[in-house]
Each structure stands twice: as C-alpha cells, then as structure tokens.
C-alpha cells in the first residue's frame, strides 16, 4: 500500500462554529470538501505521529463514508492507531471518555448533534483534543487557516476496514481497533452512580420512559437502563439509531419530543421521563406532570449531587453558560463553592474542569455534564437524576418544590427564531449593540433598564478573552433579556432570545412561566424590533 497525494483547492466556507463544521450533506459531498477539512485538522496539529486517534459519530447519513476517509487519511498522515466504534457509532460523551481512557492525542467526531439527518439534511465534523473536550478557539482558528491555503491532502491507497467487525485490523501501516461503543462508557457510569439503589428503585415499581429519538443513545440506554439497571423492557423507545433519525428532528425539547411530554402529562404517566439528542450530549428531563427546565435541572443536580457515590466528596465548583439562568448561582453560594459564567460552548468549560475549578457544568440548551468527561452528557444527567430519585424516594414535583422553597425560582424561557435571513439577524444584533449605551434608565413595558452590555469572558486559566458573546439587557430587580445568534445551525441564522425573572422563596413560586415572563418577553421583542427586522411574529421553538 502507498500514500497518495491528491491535489486540491481551498473552500473558503470551512470556518468551524461552536461545535465544529456543519453543513448540509450535499455540501459535504462536493469534491474534496470533507477531505480538505480532515486534512486541515492534521495540518493544524503537531507531534501526533505514531499516536492514537479516536474516530466515531452519531450514525447519521454520510457517517460511514466519512469515517472511512478519516481512517485512510489518518494512516497517510502518520497516525499510529485509530480506535473506532463498531458501525462507526460513538456518542459524543462516549468518544470523549474513550479519548481520555486511551491516551489519544484527540478525536474526530462526526455529528451535527441535535440537527436533522438524511441525504439532504445536516452533517458535521469536529475535532476534540487530548483532554476529550472540543478544540479551543486557538486550535479551530489554526484549522480554519489551513483550510484557506490547502493545496493537497494525503490518503492511504487502501480500503478502510469493515466497521461492523469488532477486533483489530490494519489500514496501511496503521493499526485500527474496532471496539464496542457502549461497554467502556457504561462501565464509567457504573463507577459514578449507585446502580444497586437505582435497581431497587425500578424493582419497587418505579416506571420510566426514555426516548432515544432514533439516535445514538439507543444502544447505551438499552444496555444501562434495561439490562444493568433492570428497567422494564420497553422503557427505551426509538432505541435503534437510524441514518435519518426516523425522519424526526432529534432535539430533546418540548416541540420535537412532544409525544414524550404528552405522555408525562397524562393520567397514567410514568414517574420519570427523559430524552437525548442525535449525538447523545443533550437531555430532556420531565417528571410526572412537571417539566424541569435545563437551567433548573443543572441547579437541582448540583444541589443533590452528593447523593451519588462519584460526587459524595462534594463539588469543586459549578460552571454555566451566560444565557443559562442564575438558579445554579444560588446553589453555589449556599455550598460555598465557585460559580463560573462562561460563553456558550462546552469548550469554555474544559479549562475549568482541567484546573479543578468546577465539577458540574451546564447550559440552558439542554447540555449538562461533569468532570467525568469533557463534553456534555445526556445519559449522565438522566442517571444522576435516577440516583437522586432512588435515594430521596420523592417525586420530581416534590423535589422541584422543595428546591424552589429553599433557593427561590428563576422563571425562564428561550425563544428561537430559526433559519432567518442572516443579514437581517446580523443587523438586529448590530442595532442592539448600537443602542446599549443609551438604554440604561429607559422604561419598557413597566421595566426599567438598569444596564446593558455585550458579554465578554476572560478565561481564568489561560487568560484568553472572548468578546461579543451576547447582548444582555438587565432590568431593575434582577430580571434580564439576552440576545445571541446560535452557531449550531446550517441554514440562515438562528436568533435566540432568553428571558429570566427571579422570584424569591417568599414569593409566588407557582406562576405559569408565560405569565411570569410576559412583560420581559414584550420588552425584549420591542427593544430588538424582532418582528420588524425578521418578519417573524412568533418564535419557532420555545424552551
């Protein structure tokens, strides 16, 4: 076998976003498009020759083909060994764990997370570094720079091995290990959580529904929930990963997981409901008759984490993204630990976790995780909730009520305006930024603006500064509205508007969220001129 050098030309649209490079499948199928980006990953690294690389994905359409390219190009670029999940399957948190456990220099994860899959839908490639976490900005910028000047890529003149056969293989001179994608991750979960207590909970008649959304977590959920923990057969639904996710949108929110929500609000609802997304890093948590927002879930998990063996020693700190509600802040204050507010994107948590400054992290976009890996982890959050329920033996409603009576309640909602015109979205954000200096003192819908800024973050570990991370409008009394453009879509722009109101423990903790936030929602829409500038009179998704 021999290494082939293929001449190519740059594509100028390969700048990685929040979670790597995401485009439609036909875009990735352009001549040399995927190859260029994969080569840029190698060209932006150094010292990896002879070392191990992890490769895997969420099973969406085009995964197997690109995994074959990754293996052949890794061999051509001097990688010593590739570890890949059987069938090309690795959930994002499982890939992070495998990178860390194997001592790999990094991993290539093929996923577009919660975005739809299929021949005309979304695809993505991202690079994770040796700590198992997403590449930081300095690495992704280096990759982007290489894509703009690339003139050739290297590929092994050999077929990639059969991904469906567990065992050892070769690609040229490089070793390829095809492994069970579930086993190592499931073993890690058994180290962190009290599996006997959770088994006893299920044995007592406790009922659960987990919707894997025809995505990557199905095999993990079947193994852990039904086999190891003894949940009844049928607890896991939509448990077979499909290339098109069964024509569904694998985003665990109240719109795309409506069937689960309706079941949990029904007369014969299970005790606990949960879902995860396309690549297994997000979660939806619903109790019988109650939806737990991701922001509240982060706070409640942090407040009760000591009930799980892996966290019995306490937490070093809590980290949350800026748009996530301040519910976790009050938990950190009571526990006497640090609270770190970062930009959106899990890569910002990596330094804090590596430095021992945080143990649990979370984002309002349904991502929660801990120091066990360097990615958010949907099943981890579900298992921590099960551990808490197994020890406390309270209902989800009772746990939420007790939490709010202790810490107060952060009423919270996010409004997403999807696939809007990119120029219109950028103009809207520019309009807000232009007005920031004059907004303080203005009253809108009965709310007085106390301050307005564009969030920036100075990393306490490496000193890097990230600017323009979202416009914040802070109202007198502690309410706020936040505006930012998402970096995870593939068509147009997604405007996200976050509204929050804090109600102390002595206040009204039983309001409907829409009622509690009504004036803030109206003020946010007027201040940003959402309808006039986007043509949208209502959000596409409310979470």
| pLDDT higher than 90, residue 205 | yes
| Residue 157 sits in the same domain as residue 252 | no
Mean pLDDT of all residues in 66-93: 97
| Residue 275 sits in the same domain as residue 356 | yes
Mean pLDDT of all residues in 39-62: 97
Q: How far apart, in Å, are the Cα atoms of 204 and each of 158, 200, 227? A: 55, 6, 16
pLDDT at site 491: 66
The residue that leads in pLDDT, 365 or 206, is 206
| Residue 248 sits in the same domain as residue 271 | yes
pLDDT at site 61: 97
Average pLDDT, the chain: 96
The token pair at 276 is 């995860």
Q: What percent of the chain has pLDDT over 90?
A: 94
pLDDT at site 19: 81
- Of 362, 380, 407, which residue constitutes the final position of a domain? 407
DSSP 155: E
| Residue 107 sits in the same domain as residue 203 | no
| pLDDT higher than 60, residue 27 | yes
Residue in 169, 226, 172, 235 with CA at minimum distance from that of residue 199: 226
| Residue 194 sits in the same domain as residue 237 | yes
Of the listed 102, 111, 113, 325, which one is catalytic? Answer: 113
| Residue 416 sits in the same domain as residue 392 | no
Taking a C-beta distance cutoff of 8 angstroms, is the pair 273, 264 a contact? Answer: yes
- Give the up-direction half-sphere exposure of residue 235: CA atoms within 13 A in the CB hemisphere: 25
Look up the CATH number of the domain holding residue 91.
Answer: 3.40.120.10
Residues 191-194: contacts with CB under 8 Å, at least 24 apart: 191/310, 192/308, 192/309, 192/310, 192/311, 192/372, 192/380, 192/383, 193/308, 193/309, 193/310, 193/383, 193/384, 193/386, 193/387, 194/308, 194/309, 194/387, 194/390, 194/391
| Residue 435 sits in the same domain as residue 460 | yes
| pLDDT higher than 70, residue 294 | yes
Cα(27)–Cα(525) distance, integer angstroms: 34
Q: How far apart are the first and last CA of the chain?
A: 53
Cα(45)–Cα(24) distance, integer angstroms: 26
| Residue 168 sits in the same domain as residue 196 | no
The pLDDT tens digits for 466-521 are: 999 999 999 998 899 999 998 655 568 999 999 999 999 999 999 999 999 999 99
Give the pairing type, strands 21-24 and 367-370.
Answer: unpaired
| Residue 418 sits in the same domain as residue 391 | no
| Domains: count for the chain | 3
- Of 181, 202, 223, which residue constitutes the final position of a domain? 181
At residue 107, the 3 state secondary structure works out as strand
| Residue 241 sits in the same domain as residue 285 | yes
- Would you place residue 346 in the very low, low, confident or very high pLDDT band (cuts 50, 70, 90)? confident
Write out the residue range of the structural domain in which residue 489 sits.
Answer: 409-542
- Of 407, 422, 438, which residue constitutes the final position of a domain? 407
- Would you place residue 1 in the very low, low, confident or very high pLDDT band (cuts 50, 70, 90)? low
- Give the up-direction half-sphere exposure of residue 138: CA atoms within 13 A in the CB hemisphere: 6
The pLDDT tens digits for 350-375 are: 999 999 999 999 999 999 999 999 99
| Residue 192 sits in the same domain as residue 127 | no
- pTM (2 d.p.): 0.94
pLDDT at site 489: 54
pLDDT at site 487: 60
- Would you place residue 137 in the very low, low, confident or very high pLDDT band (cuts 50, 70, 90)? confident
The pLDDT tens digits for 378-424 are: 999 999 999 999 999 999 999 999 999 999 999 999 999 998 999 99
Look up the CATH number of the domain holding residue 473.
Answer: 3.30.310.50
Residue in 489, 497, 496 with CA at minimum distance from that of residue 523: 497
Taking a C-beta distance cutoff of 8 angstroms, is the pair 114, 108 a contact? Answer: no
| Residue 506 sits in the same domain as residue 527 | yes
Mean pLDDT of all residues in 421-439: 95
Taking a C-beta distance cutoff of 8 angstroms, is the pair 86, 33 a contact? Answer: no
Verify whether residue 325 is a known catalytic residue: no
Cα(332)–Cα(79) distance, integer angstroms: 43
- Would you place residue 347 in the very low, low, confident or very high pLDDT band (cuts 50, 70, 90)? confident
Residue partners of 469: CB distance under 8 A and separation at least 6: 322, 343, 344, 454, 455, 456, 457, 484
Cα(299)–Cα(329) distance, integer angstroms: 8
């Amino acid at each position: 076998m021999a290494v082939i050098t293929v001449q190519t030309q740059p594509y100028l649209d390969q700048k990685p976003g929040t979670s790597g490079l995401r485009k439609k499948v036909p875009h990735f199928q352009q001549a040399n498009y995927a190859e260029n980006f994969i080569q840029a990953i190698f060209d932006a690294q150094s010292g990896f020759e002879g070392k191990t690389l992890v490769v895997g994905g969420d099973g969406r359409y085009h995964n197997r083909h690109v995994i074959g390219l990754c293996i052949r190009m890794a061999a051509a670029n001097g990688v010593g060994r590739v570890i890949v999940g059987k069938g090309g399957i690795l959930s994002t948190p499982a890939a992070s764990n495998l990178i860390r456990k194997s001592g790999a220099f990094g991993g290539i994860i093929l996923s577009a997370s919660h975005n739809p899959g299929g021949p005309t839908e979304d695809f993505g490639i991202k690079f994770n570094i040796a700590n198992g976490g997403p590449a930081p900005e300095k690495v992704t910028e280096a990759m982007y720079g290489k894509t703009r000047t690339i003139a050739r890529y290297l590929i092994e003149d050999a077929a990639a091995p059969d991904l469906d056969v567990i065992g050892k293989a070769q690609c040229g001179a490089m070793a390829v290990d095809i492994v069970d994608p579930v086993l190592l991750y499931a073993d890690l979960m058994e180290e962190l959580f009290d599996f006997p207590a959770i088994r006893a909970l299920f044995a007592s008649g406790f009922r659960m529904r987990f919707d894997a959304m025809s995505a990557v977590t199905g095999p993990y959920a079947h193994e852990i929930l039904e086999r190891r923990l003894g949940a009844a057969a049928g607890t896991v639904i939509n448990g077979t990963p499909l290339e098109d996710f069964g024509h569904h949108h694998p985003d665990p929110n109240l719109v795309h997981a409506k069937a689960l929500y309706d079941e949990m609000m029904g007369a014969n609802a299970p005790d606990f409901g949960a879902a995860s997304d396309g690549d297994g890093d997000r979660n939806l948590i619903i109790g019988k008759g109650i939806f737990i927002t991701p922001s509240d879930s982060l706070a409640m998990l942090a407040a009760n984490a000591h009930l799980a063996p892996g966290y019995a020693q306490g937490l070093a700190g809590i980290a949350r993204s800026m748009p996530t509600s301040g519910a976790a802040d009050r938990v950190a204050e009571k526990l006497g630990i640090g609270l770190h507010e970062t930009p959106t994107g899990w890569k910002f948590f990596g330094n804090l976790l590596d430095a021992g400054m945080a143990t649990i992290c979370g984002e309002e976009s349904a991502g929660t995780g801990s120091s066990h890996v360097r990615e958010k982890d949907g099943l981890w959050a579900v298992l921590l909730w099960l551990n808490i329920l197994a020890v406390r033996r309270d209902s989800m409603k009772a746990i939420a009520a007790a939490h709010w009576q202790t810490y107060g309640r952060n009423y919270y909602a996010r409004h997403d305006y999807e696939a809007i015109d990119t120029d219109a979205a950028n103009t809207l954000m520019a309009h807000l930024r232009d007005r920031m200096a004059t907004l303080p003192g203005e009253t809108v819908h009965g709310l007085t603006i106390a301050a307005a800024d564009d969030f920036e973050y100075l990393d306490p570990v490496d000193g890097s500064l990230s600017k323009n991370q979202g416009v914040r409008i802070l109202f007198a009394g502690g309410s706020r509205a936040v505006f930012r453009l998402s970096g995870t879509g593939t068509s147009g722009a997604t405007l996200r508007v976050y509204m929050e109101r804090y109600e102390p423990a002595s206040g009204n903790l039983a309001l409907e969220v829409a009622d509690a936030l009504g004036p803030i929602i109206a003020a946010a829409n007027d201040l940003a001129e959402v309808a006039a500038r986007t043509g949208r009179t209502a959000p596409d998704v409310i979470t």
